[in-house]
Structure 1
């Protein structure tokens, strides 16, 4: 059954009790039948495993096995209802037609208790097995920067393998066990290579999830190197390249890189002086918005990878010698970080199709995935599934995210954490009078806009429609009476609503094909910025004028100064992101920031003299509008901390931002393959 969707709930039997009831037997009988091939699956928990089964698989198995069983049992037990017989006949017809695969009687060994193999503080991530299965290489930030460690499975303490003072991550053990490929961050460089960001053209939703799930460099200033496991001279393989993966014969590396402002998958001989070869995915141009996590199939024929062309991360596959990319997962849920079983028949990946981001596996047949089966359950993010050399054990990393709102006092330099929920709290938007704080949160399972009364502590949910991305687009009127925000409509467009704070009610005031920014100034006049706007009662669209005056391919997060004289936005040109500003009505645009860094999410100070923004999503900076040096406001600068969406209080004394910190460990599961 080749499909990209998990079975519907009515197809699932979620416990021994439900399986026994469906077969009209007691639990001890069906447990015994499992040893004879009854198709029962297991999900892995940290403490124990739970079972589940699919009705269609049980129906097919029953038809093959029931006749022999029924001759030895009583007539009453043998009797099946007409409805059961009809269902069995239908299943047999589907099997005969090839619409349901025949279940092969292979006993599934029970999944043993999950074992945690790393205990260092902070983040441990990106495991990679040695070919003999005795050791695992992984990335850790225990020393304050990302470094690669080696851990013997089942004994001993991890040993730091990295020898550089720079960040190192994404280890990949060679098939012969002699070398490790990895990525090193050499810091900012202006003289060589492309320093553009491979994530620049992600959609808002794709970038939102990517920044939270991925712990390395934001895709900038990384190089692929190879170094002997036992020490020795390392060798540069590719500049501005990421996610190295070995071919099965150990002669070639595939990686993600930018060449001539074009991001793609490239393969390169490790030892021969052959030039790198581009593995085209032009048949799926949207997949080139993000390329990551290439994984070579054991037979050397295929390369699976993560791609995105919209709100959802998906898994694609291409022939290893290049060609068109084929999507393996659908657009209903994120799927990323693919990896092959050792026999090449299964593809493991991470997906949130069941809610939280867990591990899944699916058979790879005829360049398609069969029905995915869930491997782990839980509320953490389970990532980087790596089957072991003998296919009976998998390693993976469990990552927890703390995404909360922080308040930074400019005078004292003191930062205070404002939210402590286990949910994601994002995009602070303080009211100009300081009495209210709007923010996004998924605390109820959906992405909604919330409003906090900072004087009374009262919390209200503002939006009633959950967005596919976090509710980031909220804007206050200058008098703090109204809050404007965007929500996804039932179709392809977006609606803008106005929330009356005193009445605690929202009213829809317009629609647009794309999400736009609102410039609110002077007696609550509304100006929409963006492309293809169709807002009712919109007095001015800035998109055409800005595009003509700002030399950029894309203008995002455009916002007007409180004095209604200027507009500033982040611009994309040749995949370089800077801040530009222009007079609101007429005049030439000019650079506000420039260089090889990535500047984003500009916001104005109340006096219209400063623009605050995030640089490389590492820290908040400020730049004077009249010209002058850029000032660093916060001082985190950690590869494992993401700083996002700054905002300024009405008096200009406080800076708000989202601070995302990742922690995690490496775990093993036996018999999960």
Structure 2
């Protein structure tokens, strides 16, 4: 293979430099010209790509591996072919490998366990999806000195294997590179077949040429953990034959583990390193639990003499028992330097720690540090029922407390004095006094998008997702909220959201989002508003919620872009930014509401959740008993529709490597999925034509709202059928094929439902109210339109006559969204909180009759569509992996900003 020189292009990728080489190919740093990010390019060997059968198998495996999404796994973005070169496009992970870290000797016990925990979390995520690494070793683990761990090359050993077997252990032993490189073939071309990986970390069954499963990863995990603790390889030798013999025959020397190793960890290493797979630890999840329990043991790995004496610590909280012990040790060392011996303290260094949710719960998208950085309020979800509430944790305590009367509380934010917390729930803005008492309602907020509590008892908030900001005062007598900002039609603004008070309380930051905002972040802007004058200051091109930090002085704005949290210096007095934005954390999760999942306190503490853009979920088939199976697992799914014949599913998914949403099709019978839109820009909201031959969908490729039609077999070019400047989305198609029900932003009334005539292209209103109206569904005879509206203060389901009759009826009684008709029009389904699928029997006629709603089943789903016969449902279920992700806590993050 000839090396690629800097400047060489592979499709949209420009090579910057070679950064590695091994049996699996050469690895390069490259720039993605479309998404303006750096990636890693692994160029596959020519001998490999010339084998068509082997290459086809690799491509199938790579598609499976691209579905792995986890903070501790380096992602695969896709495959690229250009000029006869085939390459794998992957997440670029900077920093030293664990092998490089171990060249200096053993890690501390705390850092060893912290690193092992993150490796175990990565393996658990993969094993749950049936993926085995097969080549776990220190060279395939990136481990920064700040405590961040990423596992590389997941599953590539299998993906690049030859299917034909052949070769022998003797062939393997003659390879000079096996102890440090993944092996495909010997230098002379002999196939190695069943023996892959690096000899020193192979499981005995792998070294013997037998089939492997997840237990081979568990063995390799045990070997790596042993090496981190002991500071030397468990199996070593002058030749590969010696190493393999040790793997197969030698008994590990557990006395080499340091004396301070917790007994449960010694037992864990022993169980991982049993030669027979049946006697070995069977689940990496059990290893994770053991590590989590060990990491909260007091004084883990710290000699007694190094622990500060009682009474010598400052008033600031002591090391935190609920974060990783590595951070606790670092904090203890810092406190010792500050308070013992009178020596001048060194400059504080940033500390990374992981905050885990209370038992049997997981973190939602809401968490906020108190102004003084001593407490955190967060939303925790019960992993069984999916119900949730706000919890409060003091950072010097190991126990969190659930806050009463905060069920469903989202987007929480603190009062300036830290005595109260405001939040949104049940279509209302509420507050709760942490000193006691139930939550109190402040005002309506049907579809909120953030709020902030300023001095003098004023709260600025976004009550809906399609309007300006409001302000309400809590000082004195109760008063109704007032409009604070209005959308600028000349700028095509569609929303003002996520306000943040600046020091002094006379100005705020907020996100001014334009109608074109989508995959390209530069269409919307973070702005500052002077409350007294209403004057606006455009600051940063970004489609992200802003955060403000007073440290470093005079201040900084934090925001999300391309997977990272960035910080840019900002003067809150002059309302002006300075310098360039600097990345301070990555990857940081980002919601579909344009909210960066991060929070910052005034003392320089940052908390964030690692992840991707959007929330991962699964699409599942459910019967009327609520029992079913998964259809599609782990994607950035959003809208979806079952075809009229019930055989296919059209859905929106974020395409790996493209960064935009696309329309995909899934065939229920064959179980295969295929992407049918490939153009630039994002495509969403698929709707079937009556005969299932076409799909209508929305696109933002031309910076406006355009509806296209495309053949559902993916053939031919898309055809434009409608366009508006404000945004236009197809939501339902009439059964006679004459019109679409579309959603659009309309000046004065917000998001309305419109009729788009497919022959004349004429647009007429169907539901035009000052409230938000969405989720329409046409009855099979096109005479009735069911939809959801928040005109009552919360989402309810309504049915409106379109032809052959008159009238309008509210058919839900306790909230409802996503109405869907049965194929004969005699039953209407909808989703009601909390997680209840409801059914209404309908007697059609000029004046239809609706029976009271009754519950079909309870399931943790976010939206659904019904099969034509109404007996099965496709539903969107949030991912379990998002719930199990911890929060990352970083102290002294401002040190990452370059000096002015």
8 Å CA contact 1:298, 1:343 repeated in 2: no
- What's the offset of the Cα at 1:304? 1.8
Aligned to 1:587: 805
Q: Matched residues in 1 for 2:38 and 2:769: separation?
A: 57
- What's the offset of the Cα at 1:275? 5.0
Q: Matched residues in 1 for 2:665 and 2:608: separation?
A: 38
- The DSSP-based 3-state class of the residue aligned with 2:893 is coil
Pair 509,488 (structure 1): closer, same or farther in 2 beyond 3 Å: same
Match of 2:403 among 156, 159, 162: 162
Q: In the alignment, does 2:571 pair up with 1:360?
A: no
Aligned to 1:61: none
Pair 369,506 (structure 1): closer, same or farther in 2 beyond 3 Å: farther
Aligned to 1:385: 598
Normalising by structure 2, we get a TM-score of 0.50
- What's the offset of the Cα at 1:409? 0.6
Aligned to 1:657: 875
Match of 1:454 among 668, 692, 697: 668
Aligned to 1:671: 892
Structure 2: state its 5+ residue gaps: 1-30, 40-143, 151-346, 518-523, 745-752, 844-849, 895-900
Aligned to 2:555: 346
Match of 1:280 among 478, 484, 488: 484
Q: In the alignment, does 2:784 pair up with 1:546?
A: no
Aligned to 1:620: 837
Pair 490,319 (structure 1): closer, same or farther in 2 beyond 3 Å: closer
8 Å CA contact 1:291, 1:307 repeated in 2: yes
Q: Matched residues in 1 for 2:651 and 2:678: separation?
A: 14
Pair 172,578 (structure 1): closer, same or farther in 2 beyond 3 Å: closer
- The DSSP-based 3-state class of the residue aligned with 1:456 is coil
Aligned to 1:252: 457
Q: In the alignment, does 2:678 pair up with 1:477?
A: no
8 Å CA contact 1:314, 1:336 repeated in 2: no
8 Å CA contact 1:115, 1:669 repeated in 2: yes
User: Could you say which structure has the higher helix fraction?
Assistant: 2
Q: In the alignment, does 2:829 pair up with 1:605?
A: no
Q: In the alignment, does 2:679 pair up with 1:465?
A: yes
Pair 138,167 (structure 1): closer, same or farther in 2 beyond 3 Å: same
Q: Matched residues in 2 for 1:340 and 1:634: separation?
A: 46
User: Could you say which structure has the higher strand fraction?
Assistant: 1
Pair 457,309 (structure 1): closer, same or farther in 2 beyond 3 Å: same
Q: Matched residues in 1 for 2:631 and 2:486: separation?
A: 46
Moved more, 285-294 or 300-309: 285-294
- What's the offset of the Cα at 1:226? 2.8
| 1:210-609 matches, cutoff 5 A | 217=425, 220-228=427-435, 232-233=436-437, 236=440, 238-240=442-444, 245-247=452-454, 251-256=456-461, 264-270=469-475, 272-273=476-477, 275=479, 278=482, 280-282=484-486, 284=488, 290=495, 292-310=497-515, 312=517, 314-321=525-532, 323-330=534-541, 333-342=542-551, 345-351=554-560, 353-354=561-562, 356=563, 358-365=564-571, 366-370=574-578, 371-378=580-587, 380-381=589-590, 383-391=596-604, 393-398=605-610, 401-410=615-624, 412-421=625-634, 423-444=635-656, 445=658, 446-468=660-682, 471-478=684-691, 480-490=692-702, 492-501=704-713, 504-513=714-723, 514-522=728-736, 525-530=737-742, 538-539=758-759, 544=764, 546=766, 556-570=774-788, 578-593=796-811, 597=815, 599-609=816-826
- Equivalences, count: 517
Q: Matched residues in 2 for 1:375 and 1:529: separation?
A: 44
Q: In the alignment, does 2:363 pair up with 1:117?
A: no
Aligned to 2:322: none
Q: Matched residues in 1 for 2:869 and 2:741: separation?
A: 25
Q: Matched residues in 1 for 2:729 and 2:427: separation?
A: 27
- The DSSP-based 3-state class of the residue aligned with 2:378 is strand
**Deviations 1:508-538 (Å, cap 9, x if unpaired)?**
344211333452435xx34233489999993
- What's the offset of the Cα at 1:559? 4.0
Pair 580,363 (structure 1): closer, same or farther in 2 beyond 3 Å: same
Aligned to 1:53: none
Q: Matched residues in 1 for 2:666 and 2:556: separation?
A: 44
**Deviations 1:237-287 (Å, cap 9, x if unpaired)?**
72436756443xx6424242769x9973324255x5585774722374789
- What's the offset of the Cα at 1:123? 0.8
Q: Which one has a bigger Cα radius of gyration?
A: 2
Q: Matched residues in 2 for 1:407 and 1:128: separation?
A: 36
Q: Matched residues in 1 for 2:486 and 2:442: separation?
A: 22
- What's the offset of the Cα at 1:465? 2.2
Pair 182,579 (structure 1): closer, same or farther in 2 beyond 3 Å: closer
Supply the RMSD in Å over aligned alpha carbons.
Answer: 4.5
8 Å CA contact 2:498, 2:510 repeated in 1: yes
Q: Matched residues in 1 for 2:410 and 2:772: separation?
A: 31
Structure 1: state its 5+ residue gaps: 1-6, 16-42, 50-108, 184-215
**Deviations 1:153-184 (Å, cap 9, x if unpaired)?**
4x54133062447455555455555x13233x
Aligned to 1:25: none
Pair 315,614 (structure 1): closer, same or farther in 2 beyond 3 Å: farther
- The DSSP-based 3-state class of the residue aligned with 2:825 is coil
- The DSSP-based 3-state class of the residue aligned with 2:469 is strand
Moved more, 278-287 or 617-626: 278-287
Q: Matched residues in 2 for 1:253 and 1:606: separation?
A: 51
**Deviations 1:579-602 (Å, cap 9, x if unpaired)?**
4445554431422536573x4433
- What's the offset of the Cα at 1:122? 0.7
Moved more, 364-373 or 138-147: 138-147
8 Å CA contact 2:589, 2:609 repeated in 1: no
Pair 556,499 (structure 1): closer, same or farther in 2 beyond 3 Å: same
Q: Matched residues in 1 for 2:792 and 2:667: separation?
A: 43
- The DSSP-based 3-state class of the residue aligned with 1:515 is strand
Pair 538,669 (structure 1): closer, same or farther in 2 beyond 3 Å: same
8 Å CA contact 1:500, 1:506 repeated in 2: no
8 Å CA contact 1:168, 1:182 repeated in 2: no
- The DSSP-based 3-state class of the residue aligned with 1:418 is strand
